[in-house]
């Protein structure tokens, strides 16, 4: 596995291959590609702009449904346009999402990083990268990790029919679960705020494949059975046309 250096510490890097499927429930998909819309009509993308994806269309419905708004009813299916490098917080990495609570480390609580041009502060429970990592390794565009609380809820509620799509791994905490990937929208992570205008052309890490109602479980199953091949190295699925 590839590694990068941070203060003489080796951090494992996992390459997620082109064609990997990414599932996300979102109201405004354009935000995933071009950033959050501001009052003046421009959009904001900060260095720690994180878009969270699941490896199947079911775990989000089960684990975060209580946090979703009435307007968030659509499951968007994306796929990677290119290979991407992400920091690995799953086994055999000695790091996990808990590492964000450690001082002077390569990840930190997102509430501890500048919100920049974003209209509101970032969440305390999400992991963000240090300025040093961002500036030194702009090609590292994300993190793969296990969300403890999301997986606890999912394990209590997943049905037998859907269980086959829930491919688990472990992390340094000894916790097992389905990992998620957080990605920056841009192929090269910027080290400063990016203000996006309507005519700006951006190079994104992913593209949309399809969409369907998040409540249409049968449609999700059909899509997975026809178009998804499991990759045991990433614990995500590869798109097959």
What pairs with residue 129 in β-bridges?
Answer: 107
Model's pTM, two decimal places?
0.94
113 by Cβ neighbours in 10 Å (0-12 / 13-18 / 19+) ranks as: buried
Distance CA 109, CA 115 (A): 12
3-state secondary structure (DSSP) of residue 135: helix
Mean pLDDT of 48-70: 82
Helices (H), 16-122: 30-34, 59-63
Every domain of the chain and the residues it spans: 2-239
Q: What is the pLDDT of residues 176-193, one digit of tens each?
A: 999 999 999 999 999 999
Q: What is the pLDDT of residues 141-177, one digit of tens each?
A: 999 999 988 898 889 899 999 999 999 999 999 999 9
């Amino acid at each position: 596995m590839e590694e990068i250096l941070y203060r003489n510490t080796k951090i494992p890097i996992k390459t997620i291959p082109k064609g990997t499927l990414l599932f996300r429930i979102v109201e405004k998909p354009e935000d995933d590609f071009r950033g959050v819309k501001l009052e003046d009509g421009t959009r904001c993308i900060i260095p720690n702009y994180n878009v969270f994806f699941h490896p199947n269309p079911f775990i989000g419905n089960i684990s975060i449904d209580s946090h979703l708004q009435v307007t968030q009813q659509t499951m968007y299916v994306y796929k990677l346009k290119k290979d991407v490098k992400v920091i690995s917080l799953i086994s055999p990495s000695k790091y996990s999402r808990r590492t964000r609570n450690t001082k002077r480390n390569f990840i930190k609580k997102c509430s501890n990083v500048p919100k920049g041009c974003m209209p509101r502060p970032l969440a305390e429970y999400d992991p963000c990268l240090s300025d040093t990592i961002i500036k030194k390794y702009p090609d590292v565009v994300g993190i793969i990790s296990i969300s403890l609380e999301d997986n606890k809820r999912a394990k209590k509620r997943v049905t037998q029919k859907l269980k086959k799509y829930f491919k688990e791994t472990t992390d340094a905490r000894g916790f097992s679960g389905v990992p998620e990937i957080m990605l920056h929208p841009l192929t090269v992570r910027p080290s400063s705020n990016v203000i996006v205008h309507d005519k700006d052309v951006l190079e994104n890490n992913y593209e949309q494949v399809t969409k369907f109602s998040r409540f249409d479980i049968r449609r999700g199953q059909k899509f997975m059975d026809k178009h998804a091949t499991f990759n045991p190295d990433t614990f995500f699925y590869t798109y097959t046309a």
